[in-house]
Chain A
Amino acid sequence: MADVITYREAVAEGIAREMRRDSTVVCLGEDIGAAEGVFKTTVGLFAEFGPQRVWDTPISEQAIVGAAMGAAMTGMRPVAEIMFSDFLACCWDYLANEIPKARYMTGGQVTVPLVIRTANGGGLGFGAQHSQAVENWALTVPGLKIAAPSTPADVIGLMASAIRSDDPVVFFEHKALLASSGQRPPDGHLVELGKAAVAREGTDITVVALASTVSVALKAAEQLQGDGISVEVIDLRCLVPLDMRTVLSSVERTSHLLVVEENPYQGGWGGTVVSVVADEGFEMLDAPIKRVAGACVPLPFADALEAEVIPTVDKVTEAVRRLSAY
């Protein structure tokens, strides 16, 4: 029997592996210690590493991320948890003005090797202030690396790279994926930041996805196969560095591009992906580029309303059919 691990367990496992090999890795956040995390993504860390390495904080997002920055500037590798990604807004100064700029504006004198982990995305009916997919917020700021894994193995592999990175990394853990499971990767498993994965090979159309939308795209691809449409699904895994090489080489073969993103169409990360393809790959295309994205509204509470505004398998299959009939 294969060794299986959930996405949720993979978060704690990924952190633990790094804490074992590097004593400068320390964790801080709300309810992450004895309570083992509101999403149970820090289970076992407090027991194994104790209160000197796993710190419970007050509800003080600015202090959490600001202190992580100070510790990172002085020899530690902090892993800070912001419970829901929506709350990044409470410490946005550190993400927008401080952390990404410290190295640059000091002429390279200061390095900020930290990870800000956060539970991201919708689908659980938590309403407008606890359901947003906000990778695009971070994408607006040069100087932040951005990881958003879709599988447990990638959680572990990207966590290792994020913690070892000398650059700040915002690490999005998707709430709707926490219960999903997959292969437990071997010790030492590393996934380089900025390397997309081809989650499914296909020849007719390239679908670019991230985190929760990878499984949406894969399900759509499965259905479309029955109609004789061969879909290639690319899991970006990171938004910065953005692996445009993998996207462009896929589009070169398929000549069709659809991007599936959970954040709103307005300002969504897909806009950046398609603008590069429009700039550098226009001649490869046989059809317009399309994006299936969240609607430009706050997330409504009711499930039926939420499904109206976030990408679904049906919306993706419909968009692919229209593109391939173009």
Chain B
Amino acid sequence: MTPEELLDAYEEMALIRRTEKAAHDLFMSGFVKGTTHLAAGHEAIAVGASAALRPDDYVFATYRGHHHAMARGATPEECLAELMSKATGLCQAKGGSMHLTKASTGMLGSYAIVGAHLPMAAGAAWSAKLRGSGQVAVAFFGDGATNIGAFHEALNLAAVWQLPALFVCENNLYMEYTPIADVTAVPNPAADRAGGYNIPGEVIDGNDVTVVHEAVSRAAERARKGDGPTLIEAQTYRHFGHSRSDPAKYRPAEEVERWLKHDPLDVARARLEAAGVPPETISERDRRAAQVVEAAVTAAKNAPEPDRELAFTDVWADGSATWRT
């Protein structure tokens, strides 16, 4: 990444970080109902990958997907409004935190059934191949998803059909409250499985946006050349608990401390400074991100509630929900 690209990536990560912090505060103060799965700590994966993709590539994410929606162009306001059940939300308040989607930019959804979207990404890649469009499809998923059948079925299919698909595991060491290591037969839950499907698999530092950018660029190039899928295991850590108000007491204090010292924003800032970008320029981006998120919170709070009739729209392609004559 050039220093300019890195600076933009830094700002995007700062924007996501602050949006997640705002989502957390809004949840704790009762403005956000239901649940949230925050991606604070995972920013570099979404931003680094997105910077390596073409605007028309496809992205599929999990319920922990705010960062992917934003990295593919959703605004903090659209996301927060969705979390706050407002009519201006990304999905008209019908999806919620776990289902952020921005189809217009190829962000084809956030899925709350673990593993469900890996075969979908394979399908989108298959479609790109059939249409000869040169697009790739990327599935982002957690370490926990590597033990569900859909992960294995998708990898094998993508491999035998040589699909332009990227499988990017965000390994944050935990499923909900159980360490992935306790229930997985191999040390690297994603990358160690790649051999079984005869595709390349690599473990990378998911908290270094330049490393993610590079790995995804390579994998995307390979996919576009027709050489098939790649599995990338990006190591990272979540800054909040699994969901809602989970205090994540099951994580050892020294582990948390070690990872918080390896914050993706700090890593990017250090790289920028090493490249000679003045600290003031970087802080300016921080300020801008803070302003955008602050304005987004206000706008989302002031946005209207969804019209009750929305409950009965869009089951069908004609916009209706009619199931009988």
**A binding-site residues for B, Cβ under 8 Å:** 30-31, 33-35, 38, 56-62, 86-87, 89-90, 124-130, 266, 295-298, 300-306, 308-309
Q: Which residues of B contact A301 (CB under 8 A)?
A: 34, 82, 85, 91, 93-96, 99
The winner among A60, A298, A300, A309 for most chain B CB atoms within 10 A is A300
Given contacts A87-B113, A127-B98, A129-B98, contact A304 B315 (CB under 8 A): no
Given contacts A295-B312, A305-B93, contact A59 B144 (CB under 8 A): yes
Q: Which residues of A contact B176 (CB under 8 A)?
A: 30-31, 35, 38
Partner of A305, one of B94, B149, B315: B94
A-B contact count (CB 8 A): 124
Q: Which residues of B contact A62 (CB under 8 A)?
A: 149
Partner of A303, one of B85, B95, B175: B85
**Interface of A: prevailing SS:** loop
CB pair B323 A266 closer than 8 Å: yes
Closest to B310 in A: A305
CB pair B112 A297 closer than 8 Å: no
CB pair B147 A126 closer than 8 Å: no
Q: Which residues of A contact B315 (CB under 8 A)?
A: 296-298
Q: Which residues of B contact A89 (CB under 8 A)?
A: 113
Contact code string B161-199 (vs A, CB < 8 Å = 1, else 0):
000000000000001111000111000000000000000
Q: Which residues of B contact A128 (CB under 8 A)?
A: 94-95, 99
Q: Is B270 an interface residue (CB 8 A)?
A: no
Closest to B246 in A: A38
Q: Is B321 an interface residue (CB 8 A)?
A: yes
Given contacts A126-B34, A305-B306, contact A297 B178 (CB under 8 A): no
Q: Is B114 an interface residue (CB 8 A)?
A: yes
Q: Which residues of B contact A56 (CB under 8 A)?
A: 178, 182-183
Given contacts A86-B113, A300-B310, contact A295 B305 (CB under 8 A): no
C-alpha gap A31/B94 in the complex (Å): 29
Q: Is B225 an interface residue (CB 8 A)?
A: no
Given contacts A127-B98, A304-B306, contact A58 B184 (CB under 8 A): yes
C-alpha gap A126/B35 in the complex (Å): 6
Shortest B100–chain A CB gap in Å is 11
C-alpha gap A258/B98 in the complex (Å): 35
Q: Which residues of B contact A303 (CB under 8 A)?
A: 33, 85
